[in-house]
Amino acid sequence: MRCPNCTASMAGVDVERLYGKQMALDICRSCQLVWFDDGELLQLAPGGTLQLVSKFVDDHDGGPARPPLRSGLRCPRCQGTLREVHDQQRNTRFTYGRCDAGHGRLFTYYQFLRAKNFVRTLSAAEIDELRRHVRQVNCVNCGAPVDVGRGVMCQFCRAPIAILDPGQLRRAVDDLGAALARKQPDPTLPLAVALERMRAERAFAEAPGAARPASLLDLVFGNATDPLVAGLRALRRLFGA
């Protein structure tokens, strides 16, 4: 399959699907896009979500600059134009490209992380703090530069400035652990989830420059050009890479 953005071949990634099965998802690592064939997103198991996020960590850390997203992306199956869809899960809004012929959905890594409640937008106080230290960041969705002195959204894709938040991460790990417990009862699971929480807290506490509990400064100023990079590096520690 060819990437809708750069036309390079997408890589197949095996992840866990419901009922203990496996499925292969298509990822463009350079453009940071993931394609779900029709029905695959609903079949993604909680463990598969963690596997996919772990892949995102690898692709964010140390790779080349990603190309910007082009307008008018097309379905890699039928070449029909992907329609931008705005959706909401819990209190989190996210977007993706959907094939009207029903072939599937295209997510940026960032929008998938939003859909799974791993990131949050910045508060007004955090935006003010960011402006005091940083002039420009890269959009976490499309990679375009965002002048934080002029606005809090990307002028190209309208994605708000966001960070990977430790509290959200811990809640997401708890939620995924609870979902795993419902799907696959295991008497050792509560201990495993507790250990994952401890690893998450230790990972963020050990983030570069974190002399206090992780905050906007700790997560952003390790790499001021991309608000998610430092948090994703902390996630790398969480996943034991």
pLDDT, tens digit, 9 for 90 and up, residues 32-57: 899 999 999 999 988 888 788 878 87
- Using DSSP, state whether 14 is helix, strand or coil: strand
Residues 106 and 177 in one domain: no
Residue 12 has a pLDDT of: 94
- Using DSSP, state whether 147 is helix, strand or coil: strand
Residue 106 has a pLDDT of: 97
Residues of the chain with pLDDT > 70: what percent?
66
Q: Is the pLDDT of residue 214 over 50?
A: no
Mean pLDDT of 63-74: 82
**78 belongs to a structural domain:** yes
**Buried b / exposed e along 103-122 (16+ C-beta atoms within 10 A):** bbbbbbbbbbbbbbbbbbbb
**44 belongs to a structural domain:** yes
Q: How confident is the model at residue 241 (pLDDT cuts 50, 70, 90)?
A: very low
Decide which of 115, 150, 177 is a domain's last residue.
115
**1 belongs to a structural domain:** no
Report for 20-24, 82-86, 207-211: range of highest mean pLDDT:
82-86
Task: Round to whole Å and give the CA distance between 23 and 15.
Answer: 6
What is the extent of the structural domain holding 71? 11-115
Residues 91 and 103 in one domain: yes
Per the structure, the count of domains in the chain is: 2
Q: Is the pLDDT of residue 4 over 90?
A: yes
Instruction: Please count the CA atoms within 13 angstroms of the CA of 151 that sit on its side-chain side.
Output: 11
Residues 131 and 233 in one domain: yes
β-bridge partners, 23 = 15
Residue 170 has a pLDDT of: 67
Residues 207 and 124 in one domain: yes
Decide which of 115, 134, 165 is a domain's last residue.
115
pLDDT digits (tens, 9 = 90+) for 131-153: 887 778 878 788 788 888 888 88
- Using DSSP, state whether 57 is helix, strand or coil: helix
Instruction: Please count the CA atoms within 13 angstroms of the CA of 19 that sit on its side-chain side.
Output: 2
Task: Round to whole Å and give the CA distance between 173 and 147.
Answer: 33
Mean pLDDT value across the chain: 76
**56 belongs to a structural domain:** yes
Which one has a higher pLDDT value, 22 or 194?
A: 22
